[in-house]
Amino acid sequence: MKFRTSSEEETIALGRQLAPSLRPPAVVLLIGNLGAGKTTLAKGIVEGLGSAEPDEVTSPTFTLIHEYGPGVYHIDLYRLDTAAEVRTLGLDDLFGQDAVVLIEWGERFPELMPAERVEITIASADDGAREIQVNYAADQRTNT
């Protein structure tokens, strides 16, 4: 599925719209360059899952993992350089929970990510809008 948003508010609203289609356990890779809008989209997803308000959702760049209510995790792997560093986070334990796990920069470590996942790619368009592509694995969507 492809979407286009023209503001931070529209990107958050898209996240709210996508949230109900994420059935735990779900791993969601948020893919895009720095400043593409990964955390902005995460704000809407977390709100749509009923776990936090958008202004409570921040990038976990330095803390690496934020937990929002029961069963929603937001992870940022940008500052990690090796698969060995990522393994110390215990992601396999999170992947085994009845949770939605949002991961920024997870595409850098494909060998550590589950095959069944949702990949959301965000790119900036020339006019400043965001182009957002959502690819669901067959069993990650409630409306298949």
Residue 108, both tokens = 């850098």
Q: Kindly list the structural domains of the chain, giving each domain's residue range(s) and its CATH number in brackets, ordered by start.
A: 2-127 (3.40.50.300)
Beta-carbon-side half-sphere exposure of residue 91 (alpha carbons within 13 Å)? 26
Q: What pLDDT digit, counting tens, does each position of 52-82 carry?
A: 888 899 888 778 999 998 899 999 999 999 9
**Above 80 in pLDDT, residue 23?**
yes
Q: What phi and psi, each to the nearest 5 degrees, are found at residue 57?
A: -90, 120
Is residue 109 predicted with pLDDT exceeding 70?
Answer: yes
What distance, in Å, lies between the first and last C-alpha atoms of the chain? 12
**b/e per residue, 108-122, with b = 16+ CB within 10 A?**
bbeebbeeebbbbbb
Residue-wise pLDDT for 111-127, tens only, equals 999 999 999 999 999 89
The burial class, CB within 10 Å (0-12 / 13-18 / 19+), for 65 is: middle
| pLDDT over threshold 90, residue 32 | yes
- Tell me the mean pLDDT in the region 18-45: 96
Residue 70 and residue 78: Cα distance in Å, rounded? Answer: 24
Q: Please, what's the largest Cα pairwise distance for the chain?
A: 41
pLDDT at 9 over 80: yes
Q: What is the pLDDT of residue 144?
A: 37
